[in-house]
Amino acid sequence: MDLDNYLLKNSKEEEISSIVKSLADAAIKISNIIRSIKPQESISNNDRKLNSDGDIQKPLDIISDEILIDFLKKSPAAGYASEEQEGYIDFKNNNNFIVFADPLDGSSNIDVNVSIGTIFSIMSKNNLSLEKAFIQNGTHQKSSGFFVYGPQTTLFVTVGAGTALFGLDETQGKFILIRDNIVIPEKTNEFAINAAYRRFWDGATLKYVTECQSGESGPRKKNFGMRWVGSLVADASRIFIRGGVFLYPSDAREKYKYGRLRLTYEANPIAFLVEQANGEATDGHKKILKLEVKELHQRSPLIFGSKEEVLEYKKSYSSL
């Protein structure tokens, strides 16, 4: 089954299907650009170069943002907010749905040929002004997903009827269903955290991770392995496919005292997909989807994945 047919079967609103299809077309274009970069033509974040015409080559995250805007402004989206834009863009129409995106997540991994991706969330405007619509909490999402530009170009998507995985068939230029109704296993023995920040963690994170590391002889009585790609989309893909828990908690660094990842275009879309796949997503205390949004670029701790581990992490707060 291709994405169009999946949406026809599972999405209740034609406009949402149409926006998801526009995002998929944009992602195919982004994917092609990423694959066509020649090794000698690096256009990463930190590396602005002149092309043969003397134009400044823009970093790929800006190019990805521009591509999303180009496709979305021809779709039934009313507005767009992204990591690359300070405020939201008003497409100046009376349509009902707004889009949030991280156009190129993990973009510091471009130069090392590690998977990167595009994360999106679609919400109803609920008859609010755009200004208010863009600060609604995650429960108002109608669809969310992320594309991964890796060994294959894939898409994890939900329209509120479970989470499905698609792969891009390059010859047809279409996303084809790989797996429907994904279920994240409730138990796991794999966790993902950037352990270099241990000295900044609070007591609960330290307790949880130390207990995992203590293995069979510790209180958890089982051995854990650790995986950390450093691209949220890649770490999330692994967790949807074989389980695991991802942790990017708040820590003592001033910049990350509310976590590192952004609530509206990273944590919320991932949390919606995770809940639709039988998993849990929390900031340690509350469900991610219920967190109040005060501003578009607000950060949030993000802990998600296999239910049992997310629960265990939450318990480490209550037991302190």
Please report the beta strands in the chain, taking only residues with DSSP state E, as ranges in sequence order: 77-82, 89-90, 97-105, 116-124, 141-149, 153-158, 163-169, 174-179, 190-192, 225-226, 245-248, 280-282, 302-305
N- to C-terminal Cα separation, the chain: 49
Active site residue 61: yes
23 has catalytic annotation: no
Write the DSSP string, 141-152: EEEEEEEEESSS
For 286, the token pair is 């509350």
Active site residue 190: no
Catalytic annotation on 13?
A: no
Which CB atom, from 105 or from 190, has the smaller least distance to Mg ion?
Answer: 105
**Number of other residues whose CB lies within 10 A of the CB of residue 295:** 9
Q: Which of 53, 55, 216, 254 is catalytic?
A: 55
> From the CB of 65, what's the least distance to ligand AHM, in Å?
12
* Identified binder of Mg ion from the candidate list 13, 65, 102, 190, rule CB under 5 A: 102
Residue 169 catalytic? no
Shortest approach of Mg ion to residue 274 CB, angstroms?
16
* Residue facing Mg ion at closest CB distance: 105
Residue number with CB closer to Mg ion (168 or 267)? 267
Token pair 């156009």 in the structure block, residue: 103
Footprint on this chain of ligand AHM (rule: CB under 6 A): 83, 102, 105-108, 194, 230-232, 248, 260
The catalytically annotated residue of 61, 235, 251, 309 is 61
Alpha carbons 8 and 1: distance in angstroms, whole number: 11
How would you list the strands of the sheet with 77-82, edge to edge? 89-90, 77-82, 97-105, 116-124, 141-149, 153-158, 163-169, 174-179
Residue placing its CB nearer to Mg ion in the complex, 15 or 84: 84
283 tagged catalytic? no
Which of these segments, 53-61, 64-72, 103-111, 128-136, binds Mg ion (CB under 5 A)?
Answer: 103-111
The question of whether 312 is a catalytic residue gets the answer no
By CB under 5 A, residue 84 contacts Mg ion: no
Q: Contact at 8 Å (CB) between 239 and 184?
A: yes
The residue ranges that bind Mg ion (CB under 5 A) are 102, 105
State the catalytic residues: 55, 61, 83-84, 102, 104-105, 266
